[in-house]
Amino acid sequence: MSLKSISPQAASELLGRGAVLVDIRAADEHARERIATARHVPMESLRSGDLQLDGAPAVIFHCRSGNRTRVNSPALGASTACEAYVLEGGLDAWKKAGLPVVVDASHPIELQRQVQIAAGSLIVLGAVLGATVSPWFHALSGFVGAGLLFAGVSGFCGLARVLMRMPWNRKATQPST
């Protein structure tokens, strides 16, 4: 089953008529910012026909920008027998339309984005210092690039491991007492 696109306003109306909104993002993304009525079912856990909708007339899938949902639309469509939609523009468009979201700033931004920010910053720093201070600083950019290449090939990212140990990330993963 292919998914139809639906605007945030039309999705909000459809939710009022009993449709179910499903957030396919990772747990850390959902914890930081979400649509209050959305069920969190990460893409990795969806299997064909597994989505329980309790007789809902339709399901609307969303991610942050709509890209992940569009790319995964064949699998998402196969996970339900009812009418299925993709939220155009995802959570970003929902917010832009002025519709309500729940934001929990106590959760850090997702680890993948932290890695991208840190790696990009180190690469730019190495390039700038290499051009202005000493050509040896270009090695920093090369080292970070090699680390990213290794992470892609092996599945192990040393920078992610370091970032996971940072205080802002440890706070989010500590069990509550």
CA distance linking residue 65 with residue 90, whole number of Å: 4
CA 142 to chain CA centroid, nearest Å = 28
pTM above 0.75, yes or no: no
49-76 in b/e form (b: 16+ CB < 10 A) is: eebebeebebbbbbbbebebbbebbeeb
Q: Give the per-residue pLDDT at 48.
A: 54
Within 13 Å of residue 148, how many CA atoms lie on the same side as its CB? 15
Q: What is the pLDDT of residues 114-138, one digit of tens each?
A: 999 999 999 999 999 999 999 999 9
DSSP reduced 3-state for 172: helix
The verdict on whether 157 is a catalytic residue reads: no
Q: Give the per-residue pLDDT at 78.
A: 84
Q: Give the per-residue pLDDT at 174.
A: 52
pLDDT band at 4 (very low <50, low <70, confident <90, very high): very high
Question: For 38-41, which contacts have Cβ atoms below 8 Å and span 24 or more sequence positions?
Answer: 38/62
pLDDT band at 176 (very low <50, low <70, confident <90, very high): very low
89-100 in b/e form (b: 16+ CB < 10 A) is: bbbebbbeeeee
Residue 64 to residues 67, 68, 70, 106, Cα–Cα distance (Å): 8, 8, 11, 19
CA distance linking residue 145 with residue 32, whole number of Å: 29
Pairing of strands 4-6, 83-87: parallel
Q: What structural domains does the chain harbor? A: 4-103 (3.40.250.10), 111-173 (no CATH)
Q: Give the per-residue pLDDT at 105.
A: 80
Q: What is the pLDDT of residues 15-34, one digit of tens each?
A: 999 999 999 998 888 988 99
Q: What is the pLDDT of residues 39-89, one digit of tens each?
A: 999 888 876 556 777 788 999 999 999 999 999 898 888 888 889 999 999
Residue among 15, 21, 60, 63 flagged as catalytic: 63
